Amino acid sequence: MRALPELSVVMSVYNGAHSLRATLDSVLLQEGIDLEFIVVNDGSIDSTRDILADYASRDRRMNVLSQENQGLTRALIAGCAQANGKYIARQDCGDISLPGRLARQRDTLDANPAAVLVSCGTRFVGPSDEELYAVAQSGKELEEGLRQLTVEKVRGPSHHGSTMFRRSTYDQAGGYRAAFHVAQDLDLWMRLSELGQCLATADVLYQAQLAPGSISASRRHEQIQATHCILACAAARRAGQSEAEILNRWESELPGLFARAAKRDTAGEHAQFYYFVARILRQTQPDRSRHYYWKSIRSRSLYAPAWAGLVQSLISR
């Protein structure tokens, strides 16, 4: 019988076959750590299931769970419930854990018994792996960011997938909460930060790929509303008060938010996303920048910012 692993890596995937193999390899090739990799197939209808089955047949560290499509939060709840490790690390499909990430984060938690969470720096890349920017912070900056109670000032780790936390503290905090279909990471981080120290290293050990249609790109309004609720809950807890009424009010508002999300302007969101990528690349990769200006225009033909950016980039050639 296999001994319990040090670490459980938990990931959800929905129709991620195009990038799944690279993500799985980046975790399974990590050195210096005993891990299990729990992957929740959240109702995928592409070849995700076959890819996961292939990996599981060749690597006993893989633990594949399958469920009907229920969204990221419920998938993470299911995955973390199966975790056997002392620590839980997050991973998102399409992203890459860079070499040494997991062992270094494990070592940081081992060396700091009062710490409940550690994150690393994240490199963000475009749809075709173009390097866009990096986000890194110190532990002091992270702790200060998680103490804030306004949407404008609150700051969490560099990326959801950049974090590792203690399984025991995750359970003590109540884990991911199903009420938060988005911003579930901030809700967890705020509650973890109230139980112990949150650490961060400036080392860039995680790579996240930005893509149109992601939660952060397509559900911004819902994220902001969820953040207001999460911060109100945190303020209540820190004042020794119950958060129950706040959560009940939030859950009563969810049907309206879902209805609004169902009517969102997908073409407009894609146009804005590609324009954002184009602007970042304009100075460093002008040819790629023009490629994304055109993608923005193809998404929404009358999107004026993309036309203006394209014209300016052509003039400056």
Does pLDDT of 218 surpass 60? no
Dump pLDDT digits (tens) for 226-241: 999 999 999 999 999 9
Instruction: Please return the burial class of 177, using the count of CB atoms within 10 Å of its CB with bins 0-12, 13-18 and 19+.
Output: middle
CA 194 – CA 138 distance, rounded (Å): 18
pLDDT of residue 316: 81
**Residue 290: pLDDT band by 50, 70, 90 thresholds?**
very high
pLDDT of residue 2: 64
β-pairing, 87-90 with 62-67? Answer: unpaired
Query: Among residues of the chain, what percentage have pLDDT more than 70?
Result: 98
pLDDT of residue 219: 75
Does pLDDT of 129 surpass 80? yes
pLDDT of residue 48: 98
The identity of residue 197, as a single letter, is Q
Instruction: Give the mean pLDDT of 145-164.
Output: 97
Question: Could you tell me the pTM of the whole model?
Answer: 0.94
pLDDT of residue 216: 64
Give the CA distances from residue 232 to residues 165, 250, 265, in Å, rounded to whole numbers and listed in that order: 24, 11, 29
Maximum C-alpha span of the chain: 67
Among the four given CATH numbers 3.90.550.10, 3.40.50.720, 3.30.565.10, 3.40.630.30, the one describing domain 7-210: 3.90.550.10
